[in-house]
């Protein structure tokens, strides 16, 4: 089945799941023009006010917006127009999600910022030197500073003013508003003083003191903020590096077979059903199955496993993995946005666009912060104008500028999203895909962890755990295994494949069969080389052999049954030939993981649809005391709700369709990457390697991320609480402590940089 014409490659899984069933589309768009975290709040609020928009989440660090919108009420083009109305640009179309183009856009943005910073620095340096060391010593000092400051105001700082004007038109404010008002006030006041000075008579100019200019405040503030933005942009690009790494795993071109010829085409043009030729060293561009060839593939980017996986005919392969040895011919089963790699990228981006409760608090504070700061700035200026209290000349204007500059909410707005970006990116590298940032926050507060059994704690497929043959002088063990293999090759029983897989490495050649009979609920009978054989459940074979059955054989079967294994037996007309124990074996890491979680204080529960005997045996081997067997999907859902009613924070770990309901209800949900798509869609966290040993890693990552967020918020709040009173001049009467506007600008920039650096440090922690 080919992809429907017109379906965009950047469509998320929610949209592509069933595009005809609902008019609500969910998409992530890159955004150009955001200069601070408050911009994200402004864009989010404005887009959210548009008719037809159901949900908007803007990620400033990721420079993207996640939108859920009704396509019958609003179009992508209208969303783009709305963004432009307040100074931003949404990038639409498939090319917007291209990793190479995204990198080029980021490089171009950084280059433009660097150019503006260079112009600002070159013009600001002489202004700063004149005002600090040669004040009132040079002729035409004010005019020189005015001319030097024009490039800074009109070119380097132009975006601050245009952004502020657009926001004010729509009754919105952001950091640019504070910078624009403060620097424009300083510049216009100083320009007025220059004009006033030259309008005076020469004698009046000579006999009076030179006016005090604030050109250095305006230009130094813009320069320092641009410097902070430059470093912030570099750090932000690094924090989003995980997504770029994932995008780079997709090869740009591939070799496919068309009309019996091998041709090279862009990977985006591969169709479902194409045969793709993968040579040694090449990355695989699609999800599919090997049709011919043998090789080993490095799947570490997808599963996190360092050892290459052997691939033969029929093996499953994934996009983004690397073929190491032989040439493979692969049938493309999933292409473009359908591949596991694309789903990983989509989930990471969606997680970056989601917000935990702690971020909503920061957003609410940021939304009222700018108007509050403007009020405080005006109030402080009025106070010092009406009550000078022996303050320096122009102190009222200085406090006005200081409050506007130092209170910029950058650090506050950056505190949560930068830490989340780094934490989610770090998780992606470890094979822990965080779909919902809320899950990353709550994982650090868990009290209970509920496991599904099959496919989660166990392998999810039956395997032969025990095989015991009973040869005699007439029948050798090799003859018994040959009969067993031959019969199972003909069987349609679900457990037959487990036995075939177990015996296939022995190079057994099947024997021709006569008179094969399938007995539902019992087993099979067949005639080989003149002898009749029966293969089936232990109860049936034991009854067929009675009363000639051996007590020793019954003891062996009972022992296997007590180990929660399914017992199958093989016999001929007169005696028992073999007993097999088949079970869904426990994963190697299951016991150590459960034990580690229990030692850390978590209550561990196991829910399974299996019978009570098997459930209890598995639970006993794992050391789990809380067990519910024969659990239907509603049973699992109700159990989690019951725990939540006791104020417990519950995690659910599952892999199947029957777990989806419980996964959606749990506070934090972990889905096995080897499980069903429905389970992964319902879960907040997907473990790509399907290893529950990644759960403690995810919890540690959650705690580290939340600790980083708290540190960032503490720094941001503490900084503003201490800095704003100082900027208002509150401490002037008590020791004469004041703040220079240039120092205020530097401190504001440093606070933002420190928050970003603290977040980046998260990626270095173990």
pLDDT at residue 456, rounded to an integer: 84
pLDDT at residue 287, rounded to an integer: 92
Let me know: does 495 contact 566? Beta carbons within 8 Å: yes
pLDDT at residue 296, rounded to an integer: 81
The catalytic position among 452, 584, 655, 659 is 452
Looking at residues 343-357, what average pLDDT do you find?
55
Looking at residues 173-198, what average pLDDT do you find?
78
> Dihedrals φ, ψ of 135, to 5°?
-65, 130
Q: What is the pLDDT of residues 576-631, one digit of tens each?
A: 999 999 888 888 889 999 999 999 999 999 988 777 888 888 899 899 999 998 77
Q: What is the pLDDT of residues 616-654, one digit of tens each?
A: 888 998 999 999 987 776 788 889 889 989 999 999 988
Q: What is the 3-state secondary structure (H, E, C) of 167-213?
A: HHHCCCCCHHHHHHHHHHHHHHHHHHHHHHHHHCCHHHHHHCCCCCC
pLDDT at residue 642, rounded to an integer: 93
Distance CA 706, CA 446 (A): 13
- Three-state DSSP at 686 gives strand
Rounded percentage of the chain residues whose pLDDT exceeds 70: 76
Let me know: does 206 contact 225? Beta carbons within 8 Å: no
pLDDT at residue 21, rounded to an integer: 46
User: For residue 301, what is the enclosing H or E element?
Assistant: helix 300-303
Say whether pLDDT at 35 is over 50: yes
pLDDT at residue 743, rounded to an integer: 65
Q: Please give the C-alpha separations between residue 20 and each of 4, 7, 25, 53, 577, in angstroms, as whole numbers.
A: 11, 12, 10, 18, 58
Say whether pLDDT at 302 is over 80: no
pLDDT at residue 255, rounded to an integer: 93
User: pLDDT-based confidence at 61, cuts 50/70/90?
Assistant: low
Distance CA 674, CA 335 (A): 18
User: For residue 319, what is the enclosing H or E element?
Assistant: none
- In the residue annotation, 452 being an active-site residue is answered as yes
pLDDT at residue 494, rounded to an integer: 61
Let me know: does 742 contact 214? Beta carbons within 8 Å: no
pLDDT at residue 495, rounded to an integer: 75
Distance CA 32, CA 64 (A): 8
- Three-state DSSP at 290 gives strand
pLDDT at residue 11, rounded to an integer: 34
Q: Please give the C-alpha separations between residue 523 and each of 168, 403, 538, 557, in angstroms, as whole numbers.
A: 79, 84, 10, 17
| More confident: 507 or 494 | 507
Distance CA 49, CA 128 (A): 44
Q: What is the pLDDT of residues 471-486, one digit of tens each?
A: 987 888 889 999 999 9
| More confident: 424 or 135 | 424
Residues 6+ apart with CB under 8 A from 748: 224, 225, 228, 405, 406, 407, 408, 410, 411
Q: Please give the C-alpha separations between residue 131 and each of 142, 214, 616, in angstroms, as whole numbers.
A: 9, 9, 82
What secondary structure letter does DSSP report for 630? S
Looking at residues 340-368, what average pLDDT do you find?
59
| More confident: 13 or 373 | 373
Average pLDDT, the chain: 78
| More confident: 658 or 652 | 652
User: pLDDT-based confidence at 497, cuts 50/70/90?
Assistant: confident
pLDDT at residue 38, rounded to an integer: 66
Let me know: does 653 contact 460? Beta carbons within 8 Å: no
What secondary structure letter does DSSP report for 667? S
Q: What is the pLDDT of residues 359-384, one digit of tens each?
A: 555 556 656 777 787 888 889 889 98
pLDDT at residue 247, rounded to an integer: 66
Q: What is the pLDDT of residues 379-406, one digit of tens each?
A: 988 998 888 887 777 788 778 877 776 6
User: pLDDT-based confidence at 13, cuts 50/70/90?
Assistant: very low
pLDDT at residue 152, rounded to an integer: 93
pLDDT at residue 14, rounded to an integer: 37
Q: What is the pLDDT of residues 130-171, one digit of tens each?
A: 876 766 677 788 888 899 999 999 999 888 888 788 777 777
Let me know: does 224 contact 746? Beta carbons within 8 Å: yes
Distance CA 240, CA 428 (A): 11
Q: What is the pLDDT of residues 76-119, one digit of tens each?
A: 889 989 888 888 888 876 555 555 566 666 677 778 888 998 99
Say whether pLDDT at 533 is over 60: yes
User: pLDDT-based confidence at 36, cuts 50/70/90?
Assistant: low
Domains observed in the chain: 13-92 (3.30.70.100), 250-334 (2.70.150.10), 433-458+587-693 (3.40.50.1000), 463-583 (3.40.1110.10)
Q: Rg of the Cα trace of the chain?
A: 35
State which of 17-26, 332-341, 622-631, 633-642 shows the largest mean pLDDT: 622-631
Rounded percentage of the chain residues whose pLDDT exceeds 90: 16
Q: What is the pLDDT of residues 539-571, one digit of tens each?
A: 889 888 877 678 889 999 988 888 878 889 999
Say whether pLDDT at 245 is over 50: yes
């Amino acid at each position: 089945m080919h992809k429907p014409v017109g379906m965009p490659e950047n469509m998320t899984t929610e949209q592509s799941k069933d595009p005809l069933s609902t008019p609500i589309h969910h998409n992530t768009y890159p955004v150009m023009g955001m200069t601070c975290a408050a911009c994200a709040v402004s864009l989010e609020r404005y887009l959210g006010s548009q008719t037809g928009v159901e949900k908007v989440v803007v990620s400033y660090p990721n420079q993207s917006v996640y939108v859920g919108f009704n396509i019958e009420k609003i179009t992508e083009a209208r969303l783009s127009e709305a963004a432009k109305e307040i100074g931003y640009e949404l990038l639409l179309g498939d090319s917007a999600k291209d990793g190479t183009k995204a990198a080029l856009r980021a490089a171009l943005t950084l280059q433009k910022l660097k150019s503006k910073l260079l112009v600002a620095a070159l013009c600001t340096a002489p202004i700063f030197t004149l005002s600090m060391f040669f004040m009132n010593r040079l002729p035409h000092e004010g005019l020189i500073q005015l001319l030097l400051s024009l490039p800074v105001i009109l070119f380097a700082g132009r975006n601050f003013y245009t952004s502020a004007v657009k926001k004010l038109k729509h009754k919105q404010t952001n950091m640019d508003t504070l910078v624009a008002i403060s620097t424009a006030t300083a510049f216009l006041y100083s320009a007025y003083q220059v004009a006033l000075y030259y309008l005076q008579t020469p004698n009046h100019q000579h006999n009076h003191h030179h006016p005090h200019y604030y050109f250095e405040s305006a230009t130094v503030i813009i320069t320092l903020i641009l410097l902070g933005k430059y470093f912030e942009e570099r750090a932000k690009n690094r924090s989003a590096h995980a997504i770029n790494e994932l995008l780079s795993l997709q090869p740009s071109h591939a070799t496919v077979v068309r009309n019996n010829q091998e041709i090279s085409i862009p990977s985006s043009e591969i169709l479902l059903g194409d045969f793709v030729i993968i040579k040694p060293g090449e990355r695989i561009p699609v999800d599919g199955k090997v049709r011919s060839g043998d090789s080993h593939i490095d799947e570490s980017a997808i599963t996190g496993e360092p050892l290459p996986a052997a691939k033969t005919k029929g093996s499953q392969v994934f996009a983004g993995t690397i073929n190491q040895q032989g040439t493979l011919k692969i049938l493309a089963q999933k292409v473009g946005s359908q591949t596991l790699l694309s789903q990983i990228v989509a989930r990471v981006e969606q997680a970056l666009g989601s917000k935990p409760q702690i971020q909503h608090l920061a957003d609410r504070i940021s939304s009222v912060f700018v108007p509050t700061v403007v009020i405080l700035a005006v109030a402080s200026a009025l106070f010092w104008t009406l009550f000078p209290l022996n303050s320096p000349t122009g102190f009222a204007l200085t406090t006005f500028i200081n409050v506007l500059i130092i209170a910029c909410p950058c650090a506050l707005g950056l505190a949560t999203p930068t830490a989340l970006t780094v934490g989610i990116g770090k998780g992606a590298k470890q094979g822990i895909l965080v779909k919902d940032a809320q899950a990353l926050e709550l994982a650090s507060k868990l009290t209970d962890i509920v496991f599904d059994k099959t496919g989660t704690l166990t392998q999810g497929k039956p395997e032969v755990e025990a095989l015991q043959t009973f040869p005699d002088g007439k029948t050798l063990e090799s003859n018994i295994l040959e009969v067993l293999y031959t019969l199972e090759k003909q069987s349609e029983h679900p457990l037959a494949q487990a036995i075939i897989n177990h015996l296939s490495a022995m190079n057994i050649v099947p024997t021709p069969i006569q008179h094969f009979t399938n007995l539902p609920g019992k087993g099979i009978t067949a005639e080989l080389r003149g002898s009749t054989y029966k293969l089936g459940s232990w109860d049936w074979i034991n009854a067929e052999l009675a009363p000639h059955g051996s007590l020793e054989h019954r003891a062996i079967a009972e022992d296997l049954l007590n180990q929660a294994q399914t017992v199958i037996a093989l016999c001929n007309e007169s005696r028992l030939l073999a007993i097999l124990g088949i079970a869904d074996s426990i994963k190697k890491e299951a016991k150590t993981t459960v034990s580690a979680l229990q030692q850390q204080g978590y209550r561990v529960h196991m829910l399974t649809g299996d019978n009570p005997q098997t459930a209890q045996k598995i639970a006993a081997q794992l050391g789990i005391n809380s067990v519910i067997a024969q659990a239907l999907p509603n049973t699992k859902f109700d159990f989690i709700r019951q725990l939540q009613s006791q104020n417990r924070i519950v995690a659910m770990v599952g892999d199947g369709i029957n777990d989806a309901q419980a996964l959606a209800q749990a506070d934090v949900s972990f889905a096995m990457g080897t499980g069903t798509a429905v389970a992964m869609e319902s879960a907040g966290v997907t473990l790509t390697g399907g290893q529950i040993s990644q759960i403690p890693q995810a919890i540690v990552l959650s705690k580290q991320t939340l600790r980083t967020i708290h540190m960032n918020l503490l720094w941001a709040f503490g900084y503003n609480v201490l800095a704003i009173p100082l900027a208002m001049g509150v401490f002037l009467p008590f020791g004469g402590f004041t703040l220079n506007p240039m120092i205020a600008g530097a401190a504001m920039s440093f606070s933002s940089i420190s928050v970003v650096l603290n977040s980046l440090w998260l990626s270095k922690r173990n």
